[in-house]
Amino acid sequence: MSVAALYLAAPSSDPVECSVRTWLKTDQMADIEGFAGGASMATPEDRIRFHLPDFSAPLRIRAVVSIEAGEAYRIDHLYPVDDQYQTARVNRLTAAEATGLPVPE
């Protein structure tokens, strides 16, 4: 399911309205079945998937994606383009960092 978002390539740039899909990790570790107490795996990283036709320029590392008041992410890594989509590993901004960012209407 996609959600409305604003993409901010740089602090002084105009926000780009877009639709994104988020995959957000939880802070849990899980034991791997069959490896009693000896192995565990972390949940995956936070990721956002972009529909590239929403953009007139390539996505940028360090750009910010604002989803709602208090919820925004900074792009940390861009994965290769897959057809008309690109997935990014993102880091959630703190409440202080997200304060004052524009949000989708």
Catalogue the E-assigned strands of the chain.
3-8, 16-23, 29-31, 40-42, 47-51, 64-68, 71-78, 85-92
Give domain status of residue 103, yes or no.
no
- 36, 59, 104 from 4: Cα distances, Å: 42, 17, 6
In three-state secondary structure terms, 54 is helix
Give the structural domain span for 30. 3-98
59 or 30, higher pLDDT: 59
Rounded mean pLDDT, 59-88: 97
Q: How many domains does the chain have?
A: 1
pLDDT at 1: 82
- List the CATH number of the domain containing 58: 2.40.10
Give per-residue pLDDT as tens, 9-21.
Answer: 998 899 999 999 9
